[in-house]
Amino acid sequence: MAGVVEPEPVGYPATARGCPFDPSPVYREAARAGPVSPVTRWDGSQAWLVTGLAEIRTVLQDNESFSSDPGRPGFPFVSADLREFLTSGAMSFLFMDDPGHARLRGMVAGDFTARRVKAMRPRIERIVAEALDEMVAQGAPADLIASFALVVPSRVICELLGVPYGDRAFFQRQTDIMCSNLSGPEQSGAAMMALSHYMAGIIGQGMHESDDSLLGRLAARVTRGELTTVEATAMSMLLMLAGYETTAGAIGLGVLALLQHPRQLALLKADPALAKGAVEELLRYVGVSQVGSLRVAVADTLVGGTLLAAGQGVICMLPVADRDEELFPDADRLDITRPPGQNLAFSYGVHHCLGAELARAELQIALPALLRRLPALRLAVPADQIRYKYEGDLYGLHELPVAW
């Protein structure tokens, strides 16, 4: 139509950030123009970027019009490496539609209920205390990521799954390679294969031994013919990766955000009862998701006044939506006393993060315990020397040098 100026597509992915806790300025600029914007992906193809909170909820809860299946034409892969990774099925039900998604997710959902996580809290508290003991014994300065942020969720998920914690260096290395956009296809593929073989070995061992761990129960399902070995291995990889990487990122970024907001830090120190709200606010504020929730339209659908045609990729940029001023007034300000709102840190709809309650519990326990044990905690290097994981699919810190 004459006089109508179509918006120029923004580039995707755009991982560079302004303030390290803010979403990419590229995405925020797109959001100012409207809740749905065109994007040009890494391979030159077009897709849609959804940044409005209401519009993202519309997409993520409409499982008839939008698919999570990376095998469908038009699915908006972030990179060639991720395309190979996701189409291999390595992330199991995370990138599946119902009924397959519901079938597989239902087999492990009982291990992550609020009731089950509540029963796990005393063990999480002991893991946190032990990690702090070890870090203090090693002395300052220390890298909070290696000594605490990675240790806590890794130990928790290893115990839950039945994976030897002594193997953590191996699976953390493979995860780092797979989640980095700097890894080439050969590196990513080799890391994925190595982790797959490792998890398949644990599943295979569980098929011959009595084991009440989560992976042991998956192995029993394989023996009974309810799961294939390939399905069980893919599920185990998903649970391992999702079980510690995102939580470790949130712990590291959350601690850094508090150290750089002394008033908020003082509030939490003075009143540990604020921990629950503080965790929700930190999750909203730091935005661990770098690439968003990916979907492909399977039917022509109007979202935010824009027609998303069947076969077009859709990228729901969760951290941008979590800066929505209507739901979170003064959204760019960290405020741990903020009234609770429904942030999208754990996504939305049927693919809402299975481990959300476990991650919340780990953060609610870890942050107050850290500040209680080390009340003089501070950065051991200037803030501008901190290295961020801009290159990853998940945002975080390479290290966080601290003293006390």
What residue spans define the domains of the chain?
10-403
Q: What pLDDT shows up at residue 245? A: 87
Q: What pLDDT shows up at residue 5? A: 39
Residue 246 sits at the vertex; the CA angle it makes with 200 and 298, to the nearest 5 degrees, is 80
Q: Is the dihedral of CA 150, 152, 153, 157 positive or negative?
A: positive
Most distant CA atoms of the chain, gap in Å: 71
Tokens of 223: 């023996």
Q: Does the structure show a pLDDT above 70 at 366?
A: yes
DSSP 98-155: TTHHHHHHHHHGGGGSHHHHHHHHHHHHHHHHHHHHHHHHH-SSEEHIIIIITHHHHH
Tokens of 266: 């003082």
Q: Does the structure show a pLDDT above 70 at 15?
A: no
Q: What pLDDT shows up at residue 3? A: 40
Q: What is the mean pLDDT of residues 17-31?
A: 87
Amino acid symbol at 322: D
Q: What is the CA radius of gyration of the chain?
A: 21
Q: What is the mean pLDDT of residues 180-209?
A: 83
Give the C-alpha separation, 240 to 238, whole Å: 5
Give the C-alpha separation, 195 to 363, whole Å: 26
279 contacts 370 by C-beta, under 8 angstroms: no
What's this model's pTM, rounded to 2 decimal places? 0.92
Is 10-403 in CATH node 1.10.630.10?
yes
Please give the share of the chain, as a percent, with pLDDT higher than 90: 72
Q: What is the mean pLDDT of residues 158-170?
A: 92
DSSP 364-397: HHHHHHHHHH-TT-EESS-GGGPPB-TTBSB--B
Q: What is the pLDDT of residues 27-74, one digit of tens each?
A: 998 999 899 999 998 888 899 999 999 999 999 999 999 999 999 999
Q: What is the pLDDT of residues 302-313, one digit of tens each?
A: 999 999 999 999
Among 116, 128, 156, 166, smallest CA distance to 240 is for 156
